[in-house]
Chains A and B, each alone.
Chain A
Amino acid sequence: MKKPSQFDAIVVGAGPSGNAAAYTMAKAGLKVLQIERGEYPGSKNVQGAILYSDALEKIIPDFRDDAPLERHIIEQRMWVLDDNSFVGTHYRSDDYNKPPYNRYTIIRAQFDKWFSSKVREAGALVICETTVNHLIMDGDQVVGVQCDREAGDVYADVVILADGVNSTLARKAGFHGEIQAGNVALAVKEILFLPEDTIRQRFNIGEEEGVVIEMLGKITDGMMGTGFLYTNKESLTIGVGCMLGDFKANPNKTSPYALLEQMKRHPSIAPLIEGGEMKEYAAHLIPEGGFYAVPQVYGNGWMIVGDSGGFVNAVHREGSNLAMTTGRLAAETAIAAKAGGKGYRADTLKAYKKALDESFVMKDLKKYRDMPQVFHENNQFFTTYPDLVSKAARTMLTVDGVDKKTKEREIFASFRQSRSLTGLVGDAVKLWRAIR
């Protein structure tokens, strides 16, 4: 039985994608209800976290005026680690010190609260502490949501699913199946508090400047994954994530928290975090299946945005910007649908997918479409190579009376021994094909 709609749109979830969608629609005058299961927006959300300015600028151009930002990033380090060392590239540029800054570290609980305040200001009704259990269907059309409150059925013309990586609602409605363990990474992280001065000294940065370190190698115990260390104002976040399927299959039965603890004790990392007071431990899944894992993202009366749709560029460690962009594009589709007056059938909402395809979101996912598979089938990129690179550096840089030509031969022999010549060439080709 079709009930009259109480809202133009319902948005489920108040993360970056849901907030972008709710804000954009409310700003355009739509009657919007946003439902969040946490005590406050952000209380269920986890991210590294890096905020890329561009995606938010397109929604709230003057966000820098009052958004809670930690540090703008002036230096990015990429480390490849073995047990005792790292080989790294650092890119630091004063160009990153000129406003408007390109990216910032943020603390999600604070940032999401701020974003949500903007959503309310724009005129949306935001309800927290409410879990949506199911979508309400009228035949093949989504017409509302059923919440875990008394009289919790609410009706709207269109429902935007911003309910996060588990994509619970679309799964229950049969819009797509269960997530594959090979398509998500399980990441754990801690926030460690340190005096601001200590952070500035250890990372060689000024008052508002920040450093990010991305890491791979021995720290993931043979699994496909990466680690990270980010500088906030008065804290560091340190984390590690590996494919969930790899955790499951790990012969050492390594737990995520043991992996993180081991990483914190690495001789290259420990001095940077020494004395940090741990104030929270978090875990979260990251959808890393890429292009081929993106499900059907629209239908009759519904659209999926953010992590719920698998919109993460794992290669470039981008997620929140894809989330905000997909939320904005879904909102613009809903706004156009209302203006068009032809209802919210899939036939109309397919404009959302078209907009996604024309944006960097699907273009980037498409570019790297084979990357997840290549890495998954070739875990030497996370095991053998980091070891070889470290050994090569150590061999070449240790002064011990052995001539350099002999050292070169030794290094080349170690590569050939571990991967064989065809293996090496094959790996190079695979990588090239996957990223070109």
Chain B
Amino acid sequence: MISVNVEEKLFQNRYRVDAGRPHIQIKKPEVCANDCVEKSCTHVCPASCYKAEGNGAVTLITDGCLECGSCRIICTEHANVNWEYPRGGHGILFKFG
């Protein structure tokens, strides 16, 4: 499969980021680092918000989030994702949808 820079795609989108108030959080970062081998969120997230770091940790930056809900649903073994919608008016603002 080809490699794709999703940032270039997200750059076309319109967002109102709720600075300092991420609507999704990793509950226990150590669970991602120590207990989760697959780290599926790092390839399934369509906005690539989750990144696998060299030391085994997973970092999450929600600024480009498309609010689909996939990360919460696929984290079945560890249920390690706190997932809420952004505050009203914030997050992705689709121009076309």
Interface residues of A (CB under 8 A from B): 37-39, 42-47, 49, 107-110, 112, 128-131, 133, 147-149, 165-166, 168, 178-181, 184, 186, 188, 190-191, 221, 235, 244-245, 247-248, 250, 252-259, 261-262, 265, 278-285
Contacts and interface: CB of A to CB of B under 8 A. Distances in A.
Interface of B: 1-4, 6, 9-10, 12-13, 16, 38, 40, 43-48, 66-70, 72-74, 76, 84-89, 91-97
Given A257-B9, A281-B13, A285-B70, A39 B89 contact: yes
User: Which of A39, A188, A256 has the most chain B CB atoms inside 10 A of its CB?
Assistant: A256
6 closest residue pairs by CB, A with B: A129-B89, A283-B46, A108-B97, A281-B9, A130-B88, A283-B66
A265 B1 CA distance: 12
17 contacts: A43-B93, A44-B91, A49-B97, A109-B94, A109-B97, A168-B84, A184-B73, A186-B70, A190-B9, A244-B74, A256-B46, A262-B1, A281-B10, A282-B97, A283-B47, A283-B66, A285-B70
B9 A181 contact: no
Nearest to B43: A253
A128 B73 contact: no
Contacts of B89: 37-39, 128-130
B46 A165 contact: no
Given A44-B94, A283-B47, A148 B88 contact: yes
Contacts, number: 150
B76 A280 contact: no
Contact of A46 (B6, B93, B94): B94
Contacts of A133: 84
A261 B4 contact: yes
A319 to B, nearest CB: 13
Contacts of B72: 166, 178
A420 B94 CA distance: 48
B47 A131 contact: no
B1 A259 contact: yes
A216 to B, nearest CB: 18
Nearest to A278: B12
A283 to B, nearest CB: 4
B97 A47 contact: yes
Contacts of A190: 9
A254 B94 contact: no
B6 A285 contact: no
A166 B73 CA distance: 9
A280 B13 contact: yes
B12 to A, nearest CB: 6
Contacts of B47: 283
B66 A181 contact: no
A273 to B, nearest CB: 15
